[in-house]
Amino acid sequence: MIETCAAEYGRIDALVNNACIVRDRSILKMSAREFDEVISVGLRGVFLCTREAARAMQDTGGHIVQIVSASGFSGFYGQANYAAAKEGIMGILRTAVLELEKFNIRCNAFWPVAQTDMTQVIFDHARSRAKDGGIQPADMGFGTPEEVAEGILWLLSEDAAHLNGQCLSFNGRRISLWRHPAEAEIKFYEQAASFAEISTYMQTAAPQPIYAPSMVQQPT
């Protein structure tokens, strides 16, 4: 694919790693095959396409955009495989930033919140639970593919040339720039800490919540 693109157009300016599949099932019922199939497309595929595109971009620079998902950050019932792939993409992204910046290759993540065949099950489930059944994707914070595509087009443009190693979410109406994971509680010991010392400190350290974003709510 990469060779064909380079041969046809002379160079590759951008790659959007969008392909993935789902094999939804709870962890207790998920087979190893169902896990591996999703990882093969959604994570191994991202690695292979990123590697080959980066090789083609070494002399000309370029931009690689990784498509991520809420499942990778806050989880989703029945999607341990999909969540693992999407969270793993962020590891590839952060490593690629370190390794590819010297070639003028930017790497960013884009989290689309869009109405697609893959997200249709969410709408069907919501309508089955709604009293009137008239709930629409927009009511749940999902934009149309055409609306959400505007965010990807912007990220690929020169207007976004200052961004590298960043993660943006967009649903057509709400755009967010996400913070890199950071330490919330820190304790330093001059000597190696014992079990009891660790236990004493951690009794006062507040467990951090798993943030489940809403694409409907207005920012406060």
Active site residues: 82
Q: Strands across the sheet with 105-112, in order?
A: 14-17, 62-67, 105-112, 167-170, 175-177
Phi–psi pair at 176, nearest 5 degrees:
-135, 140
| 143/172 Cα distance (integer angstroms) | 5
Are 155 and 168 a contacting pair, CB within 8 Å?
yes
Residue 71 gets which letter from DSSP?
H
Are 19 and 45 a contacting pair, CB within 8 Å?
yes
Buried/exposed code over 12-48 (b: 16+ C-beta within 10 A; e: otherwise): beebbbeebebbeeeeeebeeebbeebbebbbebbee
Are 67 and 156 a contacting pair, CB within 8 Å?
no
Residue 185 gets which letter from DSSP?
-
